[in-house]
Amino acid sequence: MLIITEEPGLWKVRQIFDDPAGNHDWGISAEVDLAASDESGTAVVRVTDVNRL
């Protein structure tokens, strides 16, 4: 239910919602800035989309 695409300095992630009907057609897409996360000591995440697949 979680897809992570690793790129240099950045992870693109997609969290798919586990709905009761089992459709799994909605989710949240985001980017994790790895350098900024290291610097701040916590994940620096920017949501890029909330949508239906």
> Could you tell me the end-to-end alpha-carbon distance of the chain, in angstroms, rounded to an integer?
13
Mean pLDDT, residues 12-22: 96
Structure confidence at residue 53 (pLDDT): 84
pTM here is 0.87
Band of the pLDDT at 36, cuts 50, 70, 90? very high
Whether 52 contacts 26, CB under 8 Å: yes
Q: Where are the domains of the chain?
A: 2-52
pLDDT of residue 22 exceeding 90: yes
SS (H, E, C) the chain: CEEEEEECCEEEEEEECCCCCCCCCEEEEEEEEHHHHHHHCCCCEEEEEEEEC
